[in-house]
A and B are shown apart, each in its own frame.
Chain A
Amino acid sequence: MIHLENVVKSFRSEAGETPVLQIPTFLVNAGERVALVGTSGSGKTTLLNLLSGLVRASSGQVQVDGRDLSQLSEGARDRFRAASVGYMFQSFHLLDGFSAVENVELGESFAGRKVHRGEAQALLESLELGHRVNYKPSELSIGQQARVALARALAGQPKLILADEPTGALDGETADTILELLLTRVKKEGATLVVATHDPGIAARFDRTVNLADINEVLAARAQASGAKS
């Protein structure tokens, strides 16, 4: 499902090109549920953005579902993301002016398919939010917002679901529930799941855990450099 080969991602700064990711190889099988762990700044979010096509690799191959995103134009990556990727953010990023069900509809609005209100509603009902479909995000509890964000990521049955610290804003019990829902729903849909987290406890519940420190050579270089200084 996912195959990264010699991927480098650099950002331009005043000091010049600064590499943040350098991954010789990274593989995720279809249907696999993978936790990406690492400290803040280790490149978890950047990797997710590469996998979604939101940003483009500076070099190397980013193969997702048989397509090399590093070779696609921005428009083609957008279409790919709309059709094949569900994204769940740490602070959910629900749009304020839209109801819960409309936020879910937005999840598949750009895929070029006809959006059915009933499907979005059914998705929310399956996540026990049937009684809150017309509520605005500001009228929902944080746990309910997380469910809406999950529903939005699942809308349109994407093959790949990416989640960036999906439980980072939740308390322990709610986080547990949301994580369980995420894992079970993804398994049920047969999708591939890649979740970025800094919490090893969460990571343990996934099929596989990948530590960015092990695959990102930039981190190794940084560690080496700081070791040399000390």
Chain B
Amino acid sequence: MKLHQLVGRNLRRRPLASVLTTLSVALGVALFSAIGSLRQASENAFQRSAGMSNLIVGAKGSPLELTLNSLYHMGVSSGNISYEAYREFRDTPGVQWCAPTVVGDAYRGFRIVGTTDEMFAVKVPDLGTPEFSAGEAWKHSPADLDAFHAEVVEHAAMDAAAHAEDEHDHADHDHDHGHDHTLEELADELGLFVAVVGATVAEETGLKVGSSFVPAHDVMTGGGAHEDAPTRVVGVLAPTGTPIDRAIYIPAGAFYAIAGHQAEQESAFGGTRDPHGVSAVLAYVTPSGGYHLRTRYAWNDRLDVQAAWPVMEVRKLFAVVGNIDAALRIIAALVVVVALVGVLVALSNTMAARQREFAVLRALGARRRTILALVVGESAAISLFGGILGLGLAAIGAWLAASRVRAETGVSLTAMPGLTDLWFLFAVTAVGALAGLVPAWRAYRTEAARALSSSL
């Protein structure tokens, strides 16, 4: 019978103690591993999403807030930038790709993003441009948007003039303010009340190609519905593991046309909000030749806009999270230490009762160091099995947490134990073996002849 068989048999002889001590180690290791792997996976996944756009232009304020809001659809937009700023940025040298976003509407908790068809040309890291699982993209180029926006501005100007005239006449006339048709009619005529939905949206709302839905105002509260703007789904995107999965994309022109989004609309959340402007511009500026750096500095120097670098903002966010994470990992490591002390105590408590066993083994020819190795092996085995079980639990916990994160942000996490966890497993096993030395030393010193004669 080999030593490892003896170790295994001895652990099975005391199933309750073995299971409880193994579980205590497992819980500590699971906590430690889950904290680390989730943080790392979260950062990786958020960075992957951040890789879709290396510059976001938006209203002055917090660059992190701008990043979270425009890229991850979290929180509310702090304000708009002017449409002219968007056009100017679009023509900036080095801008390889850019898509404006106008936000403020939602459908069943999913953000509706008004944009151009450039949005579907975004490059998702490790994936490329998003594919369609059904249907296709709508057409609404930047030039189309420019043309529609001009109509919007013209309508606004005519409305303002008519309003002034009404004020002058002190009369409350109900007339068409001189328009041939309303913006909604124009948008409808141009076929702008169409949408492409992300994979998660399709899955959770049941929207599919051909479905219609009515957008509602305000992403946070899902407030008043725009009954006059029923929107038809023309495409469903395949999963990307990014916030794209949780968004509904409509032509920005449709957003401007929807009643309630016109000039008199003021921001409910403060900030500078140009009703004909855009919430943000997601862009990819070529990093070579200093274009990215120059563009970022130049646009940040302006008083009306800021330029956020998403990768850096995510890094800063996780640097803050990292401090909390480090504190949690210290606590988790202490839990592991306490668990290993528990192993030591549990084994030590059995030593007196096992004197006869050690004496018999010695009488059968086992050397003292074999007895030492036996007890150390038991301690190490509990630590190893606890560690492996802990990593398994951590993987399950991380998987559950990843589902939650995906549901909240659309970001797909792949939080599996990594090399660090394997080192940690090795360390836990080694420390467990060292802890086993305390009871093992007592076992080592067993005087076989005396123990046998006293246990006759």
**Chain A interface (Cβ within 8 Å of chain B)?**
45-46, 49, 52, 54-55, 74-75, 78-79, 81-83, 85, 87, 89-91, 93, 95-98, 102, 105-107, 109-111, 115, 152
Contacts and interface: CB of A to CB of B under 8 A. Distances in A.
Contacts of B10: 97
A227 to B, nearest CB: 28
B370 A110 contact: yes
Interface stretch (B162-170, B356-364, B398-406): B356-364
Q: What 5 pairs across the A-B complex have the smallest Cβ distances? A: A82-B365, A97-B13, A110-B365, A109-B1, A78-B367
B366 A49 contact: no
B361 A106 contact: yes
Interface residues of B, number: 26
A45 B454 CA distance: 12
Given A54-B448, A95-B357, A78 B362 contact: yes
B12 A78 contact: no
Contacts of A74: 367-368
B363 A87 contact: yes
Interface string B417-456: 0000000000000000000000000000000110011011
Nearest to B9: A97
B363 A52 contact: yes
B362 A54 contact: yes
B1 A81 contact: no
A106 B13 contact: no
Most buried by B among A49, A81, A109: A109
A90 B9 CA distance: 25
A97 B357 CA distance: 10
B13 A82 contact: no
Contacts of A95: 357, 360
Nearest to A99: B9
Nearest to B13: A97
B365 A79 contact: yes
Contacts of A82: 364-366
A45 to B, nearest CB: 6
A75 B371 CA distance: 13
17 contacts: A52-B363, A54-B362, A55-B449, A75-B367, A79-B367, A81-B363, A81-B364, A87-B364, A89-B363, A89-B452, A98-B9, A107-B364, A109-B364, A109-B365, A109-B366, A110-B366, A111-B365
Contacts of A83: 365
Contact of B363 (A54, A75, A97, A109): A54
B352 to A, nearest CB: 15
A106 B1 contact: yes
Interface string B1-14: 11000100110110
A107 B367 CA distance: 14
A152 B1 CA distance: 13
B453 A102 contact: no
Contacts of B364: 81-82, 87, 106-107, 109-110, 152
Contacts of B448: 54
B453 A45 contact: yes
A17 to B, nearest CB: 16
A32 to B, nearest CB: 22
A89 B363 CA distance: 10
Given A82-B365, A102-B9, 15 more contacts: A46-B449, A54-B449, A75-B367, A81-B365, A82-B366, A83-B365, A85-B365, A87-B363, A87-B364, A89-B360, A93-B455, A102-B1, A107-B364, A109-B364, A152-B364
Interface in B351-402: 356-357, 359-368, 370
A201 B12 CA distance: 43
A91 B363 CA distance: 14
